[in-house]
Amino acid sequence: MGSYLNLKRSNCKNCYKCIRHCPVKSIRFSDDQAHILEDDCILCGHCFVVCPQNAKQIRDDLPRAKALVQGDAPVYASIAPSFVANYEGATIQTMERALQRLGFTAAEETALGATQVKREYDRMVEAEELPTIITSCCTTVNLLIRKYYPEALPYLAQVKTPMQAHSTDIKARHPEAKTVFIGPCISKKAEADDIPGLVDCVLTFEELSAWLAEEGITIEQGQAEDQEGRARSFPTCGGILRSMDRKNPAYTYFAVDGIENCMRVLDDIIKGGGKGAFVEMSACAGSCIAGPILDKRHALLLRDYKAVDHYTRPVDFNIAQPALEALHAEYTSLKRKTFNPGETAIREVLAKIGKTKPEDELNCGCCGYNTCREKAIAVLSGKADMNMCLPFLLGKAESFSDTIIRNTPNAILAVNESMEVQQINAAACKLMNIGDPRNVLGDQVVHILDPMPFIQAYTQEKNISQKGVYLADYKKYVDINVMYVKSYHILIGIMRDVTEDTKTQEQKAELSRTTIEITDKVIEKQMRAVQEIASLLGETTAETKVALTKLKESLENA
């Protein structure tokens, strides 16, 4: 199988959303990056649709299609009947005109091939060929059965898909023609590659829209006037059944859509619960009008159903039915090897992520796996990383941060924007003589501390730093830093007790003041003595005064 879905490495943000939505868990996570396991993938496109970072990209087949229309052979487009949901107001005639401007020879509805397929289903029902019959129109369902439910293969109709049937019919009428299928599926690209020479290229509606936009071509709206097209209902849930005659009352006719629902029905069929049932299966919830590559990423299911229903006609297309051999298809087993590690190995992995007993297994699904045991098996098989467990990482981070907060000598206080205490550590309780932190949680910070540094940090939206703040109520000096974490609407105050350092500095300052006072008195006394001597000797005191004054200044600065 080729690389139909690729990942842009720089865009993967470790959200695990693709793993959560992958029904068969065909995604491996390593090196902070999701990787699609192509051999396990059923090409449902869920990962492409749900990726919030647009990290998934589909193989671009536009260059191939452009090369075909520029070649010498005539190129026919086979357009999936869901086109009326994707291109509002379009008809096969307006679609053909737009495609001919791109270089196509002609365009036809894949519903022509669907007509042949549904007739074959009716024949199988009439002949009661199988006790249970599963439709084979959806390539993703076919891959699901072949890879994960091979026990159900005997019940899968060995009939070509409408895409294959229509392309076969086109090439029977125009042997030299090339065919390009256009629809809403990724899996059709793989289907075409598996049968070389039948369908020459597959484009998604998204690729077609890009091509039309590049050429400045608009699909016109039109009014359908034809009276044929019963198989146009195929892209809706139950649409295959509505197109069939269903004349044999021995069968129960049942439509199921969505991969999870299909998996439940397949389990039932394998256990023997599907006898006497004709089952229409569609991988997409809502069937093809909810395909992963519809141009409208957020399609309106009801509106799109009405568009298809309005375009559907009550009678079949007038197309010849080919021989049975021409519609026959072989669907063989592609069963994947299952990895079954021992219980001891599973328990060891669980223990490493803090799940030592059953009640620790939250089965929250954050990692993408339904249960903690599934996650452990994925780790052992190399598909998952140990650190993908969010509760484990949160617990680890909280334990680490709590250890720091509990053991730091600094007082830490967190308040919300309403100045209410949200958290307080043991060092802060000791600093402010608080016996039980629960007594202050939720209370206004003003009841235990001057709120001004917090108010300033909040109003000015910047960090506030103050040195040597005296807390009169507690007879303590602190250096305080208040940080405003705007994104979390919280203010964090970190206070360092500098009482001892402040007292030591005050003692030094007091000693210096005392020394200066004593020195000042000595200087004054000496000045008087000098003045008396100078008056007796008739000498000036200027030089002596200058020298003593310098001595005083040096003491003041000491």
Q: Answer whether residue 510 shows pLDDT above 80.
A: no
Using CB atoms within 10 Å of the CB of residue 342, give its burial: 0 to 12 exposed, 13 to 18 middle, 19+ buried. Answer: exposed
The predicted structure's pLDDT at residue 1: 41
Please indicate whether the domains covering 338-407 and 409-497 agree at the CATH topology level. no
pLDDT in tens, 387-439: 788 777 666 666 666 677 778 889 999 999 999 999 899 999 999 999 998 89
Q: Kindly state the average pLDDT of the residues 43-65.
A: 90
User: Hey, is 481 helix, strand or coil?
Assistant: strand
More confident residue, 277 or 358: 277
The predicted structure's pLDDT at residue 530: 60
Q: Kindly state the average pLDDT of the residues 48-73.
A: 92
Return all residues near 36 (Cβ < 8 A) that are at least 6 apart: 5, 6, 7, 26, 27, 28, 47
Cα–Cα distance for residue pair 47/302, rounded to 1 Å: 24
pLDDT in tens, 429-473: 999 999 998 899 999 999 999 999 999 999 999 999 999 899 999
The predicted structure's pLDDT at residue 550: 63
Structure tokens at 82: 């869901």
Q: Answer whether residue 372 shows pLDDT above 50.
A: yes
Instruction: Tell the residue number behind the tokens 């209410």, with chain if given.
Output: 420
Specify whether the CB–CB gap between 228 and 316 falls below 8 A: yes
Cα–Cα distances (Å) from 275 to 259, 261, 266, 267, 519, in that order, read: 21, 18, 12, 13, 114
pLDDT in tens, 171-181: 999 999 999 99
More confident residue, 357 or 201: 201
Quick one: how far is CA 311 from the chain centroid? 36
- Domain 338-407 bears CATH identifier 2.60.40: no
- Residue 340: pLDDT band (50, 70, 90) is confident
Cα–Cα distance for residue pair 108/125, rounded to 1 Å: 28
Q: Kindly state the average pLDDT of the residues 195-224.
A: 95
Instruction: Tell the residue number behind the tokens 């703040």, with chain if given.
Output: 469
Phi and psi at residue 191, in whole multiples of 5°?
-60, -45
User: Hey, is 264 helix, strand or coil?
Assistant: helix
Cα–Cα distance for residue pair 111/351, rounded to 1 Å: 55
Q: Which of 39, 296, 93, 64 is nearest to 181 (CA)?
A: 64
Q: Which of 57, 27, 55, 51 is nearest to 41 (CA)?
A: 27
Cα–Cα distance for residue pair 441/431, rounded to 1 Å: 16
Cα distance between the two ends of the chain: 85
More confident residue, 541 or 241: 241
The predicted structure's pLDDT at residue 466: 93
CATH topology of domain 409-497: Beta-Lactamase (3.30.450)
Other residues' Cβ atoms within 10 Å of the Cβ of residue 10: 9
Q: Kindly state the average pLDDT of the residues 106-128.
A: 98
Question: What are the residue ranges of helices labelled H in 196-285?
Answer: 205-215, 239-243, 259-270
User: Hey, is 463 helix, strand or coil?
Assistant: coil
Q: Which of 167-176, 259-268, 535-544 has the lowest mean pLDDT?
A: 535-544
Q: Answer whether residue 350 shows pLDDT above 70.
A: yes
- Residue 261: pLDDT band (50, 70, 90) is very high
Q: Which of 279, 10, 15 is nearest to 136 (CA)?
A: 279
Return the bridge partners of 485, or none.
490
Q: Which of 13-17, 305-309, 393-397 has the lowest mean pLDDT?
A: 393-397
Q: Kindly state the average pLDDT of the residues 369-382.
A: 89
The predicted structure's pLDDT at residue 552: 60
Q: Answer whether residue 41 shows pLDDT above 90.
A: yes
- Residue ranges of domains in the chain: 60-327, 338-407, 409-497, 509-556
Q: Which of 41, 5, 10 is nearest to 383 (CA)?
A: 41
User: Hey, is 318 helix, strand or coil?
Assistant: coil
Q: Answer whether residue 80 shows pLDDT above 70.
A: yes
Q: Answer whether residue 2 shows pLDDT above 70.
A: no
Q: Kindly state the average pLDDT of the residues 335-361.
A: 86
The predicted structure's pLDDT at residue 74: 98
DSSP for 95-126 reads HHHHHHHHT-SEEEETHHHHHHHHHHHHHHHH
Specify whether the CB–CB gap between 61 and 183 falls below 8 A: no
Question: What are the residue ranges of helices labelled H in 369-498?
Answer: 372-380, 390-407, 426-431, 452-460
Structure tokens at 408: 């730091």
Specify whether the CB–CB gap between 322 and 116 falls below 8 A: yes
